[in-house]
Each structure stands twice: as C-alpha cells, then as structure tokens.
Amino acid sequence: MNEQKRILLIIGGSIAAYKILELIRLCKKAGIAVTPILTRGGEQFVTPLSVAGLAGEKAYTHLFDLTDEAEMGHIQLSRIADLVVVAPATADLMAKMAAGLADDLATTALLATDKPVLVAPAMNVRMWQHPATQRNLATLKHDGALVTGPDDGDMACGEYGPGRMSEPQAILDAIQRFYGEDSLGNTHPEKSGPLAGRKVVITAGPTYEPIDPVRYIANRSSGKQGYALAEAAIALGAEVALISGPVGLPIPPGVELINVETARDMLKAVEGELPCDIAIFCAAVADWRTQTDAKEKMKKDGSGKPPVLNLCENPDILKTVGHMKKGRPSLVVGFAAETENVEANARKKLGIKNADIIIANDVSEAGGVMGGRDNTVHLVQVKNVESWDKMSKQQVAVRLMGRFAAMLLAKA
C-alpha cells in the first residue's frame, strides 16, 4: 500500500451521487486521499468542479482526454490507489463491471486495476431485485469485490425497499475496515471491537418443511432482523456464522452464510458451528413438519376430500442449545414473536428454553413488524423487563449487539 492512503472513487450516475460529496469530505477528514472519476451519468448529478474542490484533486471524466493521457494514462490511474470504490454503483455500472466492458474511463480503470474494489450499489428496488442484477452481484462477489449496502428505505422514485446507497459514514466504515481500522481511525492488525476474537452464531429467516416436492410449511419471516444482527456483530469485531432459511437478502459483508431449508438442517448447521460465545436464535422455525415427505407431487383424487397431513414436532433448536450440559454458548439469546401477552409468554419461554435473555416483539398485524422496517422490542430476563421505543430493525440490531457484548464481557 502507498504511504498516504488513497482511494480511486468512481462516481456513477444516480441520484445518490449527491451523498458522494459528503463521503469525500469524510474520507479527507479520516486522512484518506481521493482521486475521483465521474462517469458521464455521474456528471449529470454532481459537477466535476464540486468533486474536485472537495477532493482537492483533479476530477477525471473522459477516456480520450489527450492531456490526461499525457499526464497520467488510464492504466496508471487505475493503480495509484489502495482501493477502488464504486459509489454510487448503478445497475448499468455493475452490469458493465460483471461483463468486463471498458467503454469509458471509469470502466476501463475498473478493468485495468489490480487493486481491490468496493461497490456501493444504488438503484430502484425492482432493478436491484431483478435476476440480472443479482447475477451481476454474484459475479462481482465471485471476482472478489467487496460490497456495502444497499440499505432498505424510501427511494427517490417513490418506492420502498432495498436499493438505497449506504450512507457516506457506512461507506467510510467499509473503507476503514479494508484498511484494518475502526471508525476512530485506530489501526488494528486483527479485527477490532469488543467482540474481537469472539464467535457469534445467528439463525435467521424461516424454515421450509417440505410436504411434497412442490409444497412446504413455513412461517412468515423476512430475515431482516437476523441479518441486521449479523451486520452489527461484524461491526463489533466478531466472527459471525449466519445460518439462514430461504430469504432474498444481500449477504452482510464479512459474514459466513450457511443456507438451510428445514429445521433439522438448521439444527445440524448450528451444532456444526459450535462452540461459540454468543448464540442468537432469531429464525422463525416451523414448529411442525409432515411425518412423511412425499417423493411425488400429491394430486387431487377427485373425491373432493382433502388429504390429511400428519404432523410431527420439529427439534427446538434454541431449547436444545439452551439446555446443553457441555459446550453451551456463554450467552444464549432467544426471540419471541407473539401476537398477545407478549411479556408473559416471553418470560415462560425464558425458563422452558433456558435462554439468558428473550427479545420479545409483538407481531400482531397492527404492529406491521412482519416484513416491515421497524421493530418494537422488550428485553426479558429473569429479574427484569426493559421495553425499547419503536426503531428500525438496523437500530434495534446495533443496540442489541452492544447489549449482548456487554453481557458477555460481564460474564468473563
């Protein structure tokens, strides 16, 4: 790496580009020099003049600018930084990167660089969810790109969902993680934070219990709270194994993701990740599965009588781990999604499952928690209950992980 930390910042053409001016300011404040390149689209949203003014450096724009080629060729430009940051990374820019196109200065630099690349996507929710974009994302990750965001939220186009570019501070955090620093700019050769050297196992999302090859029993769960917890645990320096049922969420950077479908597979995956320091059971595990899993698709037999599904109970993963005699994690956290008597039911679960703490939330329809952005939680322990105001699932996750870290350290 160069002595002066330096990023090459490629600014794509999205309304989110206005946030880049703040990112440049934050980078400079953190002692990171910024060499900016604007795509043609990027130039429509922020001017090269403002970008250059804040960066204190020339803002590069066109590939065939002969003066630039004389001053600094595009190959050289692609190599001068420690890290290439693409923000906002539009759907188009991601597609070009994935395909290896090089038809302007930005994409040529991206193809020519020998440095790691950090991508901060920004686009409309449907564009983000489109299989083509998800394919390109998978290709970029496979090629080694680091990805931050996108966040959930209101979009400039009036829709709601994933697609908002990460906030400038979150992008700076990702840049500093690349440099092995925390947000205060302190360098740590290893991971830093109160959970450095600790392992956290998190279950998230629903489980699918097959009835036959095309049908399944499942619980409603978006997985958002569990994924946000995984991200928050990474930010505190933990090693994180996220064991997830089927959800369509982006993988939080730095997390080891283990995909499962059934409760039995989820239990096996959890056991495979033990020992750990903190185990958080956020998944909405299906309580029952069918006794037999039909190998062929069940058909209507014309009698008008529906088939009878004989159910049996699934293993209770939290209860199994909570009651472990040997190798029980120091902190076992359960969640309780209730539609009534939230605290009383949570208190019962605390005992039955031998958890150290239960995070209870009201998922009755009126609350809009299920699949929504916000959550209202109650922290239920043997001796006390603490209720928090409604906040975003991300905020809940950050505050909860801070609390779990403190509880773990108090036990040590």
Does 202 participate in binding ligand C5P (rule CB under 6 A)? Answer: no
Q: Which residue has the tokens 């190998």?
A: 295
Does 314 participate in binding ligand C5P (rule CB under 6 A)? Answer: yes
From the list 16-24, 178-186, 187-195, 281-289, the region that binds ligand C5P by CB under 6 A is: 281-289
Query: Looking only at residues 244 through 263 of this chain, which bind ligand C5P when binding is defined by CB under 6 A?
Result: 263
From the list 45-53, 103-111, 316-324, 398-406, the region that binds ligand C5P by CB under 6 A is: 316-324
Between 222 and 314, whose beta carbon lies closer to ligand C5P? Answer: 314
Task: Yes or no: say if 262 and 244 are a contact pair by the CB < 8 Å rule.
Answer: no
Does 285 participate in binding ligand C5P (rule CB under 6 A)? Answer: yes
Q: How far apart are CA 64 and CA 117, in angstroms?
A: 23
Helix residue ranges, H only, 189-300: 224-235, 263-273
Between 60 and 335, whose beta carbon lies closer to ligand C5P? Answer: 335
From the list 115-123, 296-304, 313-321, 366-374, the region that binds ligand C5P by CB under 6 A is: 313-321
From the list 62-70, 112-120, 232-240, 329-337, the region that binds ligand C5P by CB under 6 A is: 329-337
User: Comparing C-alpha atoms, which of 5, 29, 200 is closest to residue 83?
Assistant: 5
Q: How far apart are CA 30 and CA 28, in angstroms?
A: 5
Residues 6+ apart with CB under 8 A from 105: 37, 60, 61, 62, 63, 65, 74, 77
Does 109 participate in binding ligand C5P (rule CB under 6 A)? Answer: no
* Residue of 60, 128, 335, 404 that binds ligand C5P (CB under 6 A): 335
Task: Yes or no: say if 286 and 206 are a contact pair by the CB < 8 Å rule.
Answer: yes
The dihedral built from the CA positions of residue 84, 186, 394 and 352, taken in this order, carries a sign that is positive
Between 85 and 204, whose beta carbon lies closer to ligand C5P? Answer: 204
Does 318 participate in binding ligand C5P (rule CB under 6 A)? Answer: yes
Does 128 participate in binding ligand C5P (rule CB under 6 A)? Answer: no
Q: How far apart are CA 219 and CA 209, in angstroms?
A: 10
Least distance between ligand C5P and beta carbon 113 (Å): 43
Between 55 and 263, whose beta carbon lies closer to ligand C5P? Answer: 263
Give the catalytic positions in this structure: 157
Q: How far is CA 381 from the centre of its chain?
A: 28
Does 166 participate in binding ligand C5P (rule CB under 6 A)? Answer: no
What are the structure tokens assigned to 271, written together?
Answer: 């056991």
Does 283 participate in binding ligand C5P (rule CB under 6 A)? Answer: yes
Q: How far apart are CA 113 and CA 76, in angstroms?
A: 9
CA atoms within 13 A on the CB side of 198: 26
Least distance between ligand C5P and beta carbon 245 (Å): 10
Does 289 participate in binding ligand C5P (rule CB under 6 A)? Answer: no
* Interacting residues toward ligand C5P by CB under 6 A: 203, 263, 281-283, 285, 287, 314, 316-318, 334-336, 349
